[in-house]
Structure 1
Amino acid sequence: MDSWEFEAELWPWKDETDAWIFVSAPPEVTEEIREASAATGPPRGFGSVRVEARIGATTWRTSVFPGQDGYALPVKKDVRRREDLEVGDRALVSITLI
């Protein structure tokens, strides 16, 4: 199973701090995700890749989405609340392809 761990800053989509919040995978992780997911078949909608994500003690299933700065992982409001995270905070993120 392909897994990665990295630290990243939480950022808002279009400066809307209570809407969609993401972290971006670093370039080397983005490239490894791209290579690993290519072996599993054609990409899903918007080029997304299904993953299981973990921040702190919270684990959830979602997708990462390709963008200019690498794959972006949406961090749900419930996850941010449980882990006491806000835009601008850094989090240790773990993702596994599913």
Structure 2
Amino acid sequence: MAGDPVLFNAAIIEWRGPAPFLFAAIPDDLVAEIRYAALSESYGWGVVPVVATVGTTEFATSLFPRDGGYLLPVKVAVQRAEGVGVGDRIDVHMRIGRAKRQ
């Protein structure tokens, strides 16, 4: 799964954790695959590096483990560029792994 595209739709939620405070929960049916890919891709503390695209905005971030699943941080720059906020549903195209160096 590492490097393979992962597609899902999720609602943006607020969680009082590290900034940016807005996240999309990874659907339960993808969690086991992500956990497996994380064995080779994670750089510790359970966080999993990903490159995600919401709308036309691509960004690098890390999935946060939460309650047996994962949360995708929706950065402020993504929120502004795509005009999304709490309660909105977003389509996410995601690749597990670090961003390619250019």
| TM-score between both structures, scaled by the size of structure 1 | 0.86
| Partner of residue 13, structure 1 | 15
Deviations 1:1-38 (A, max 9, x none): 22211000001113xxx951000101111111101221
Distance 1:31 1:81 in 2: 31
| Partner of residue 76, structure 1 | 75
Q: Which runs of 4+ in 1 moved over 2 A?
A: 43-46
* Number of equivalent positions: 94
CA contact 1:12–1:19 (8 Å) conserved in 2: no
| Partner of residue 94, structure 1 | 93
CA deviation after TM superposition for structure 1 residue 44, in Å: 2.7
Q: Determine whether 1:26 maps to 2:27.
A: yes
Consecutive unaligned residues of structure 2, counting only runs of 5 or more, are 98-102
C-alpha RMSD over aligned residues: 1.9
Q: How does 1:27-66 map to 2 (within 5 A)?
A: 27-38=28-39, 40=40, 43-66=42-65
Consecutive unaligned residues of structure 1, counting only runs of 5 or more, are none
Classify 1:10/1:27 alpha carbon distance in 2 versus 1 (closer, same or farther; 3 Å).
same
Identity of aligned residues (%): 38
Distance 2:20 2:52 in 1: 19
| TM-score between both structures, scaled by the size of structure 2 | 0.83
Classify 1:74/1:19 alpha carbon distance in 2 versus 1 (closer, same or farther; 3 Å).
closer
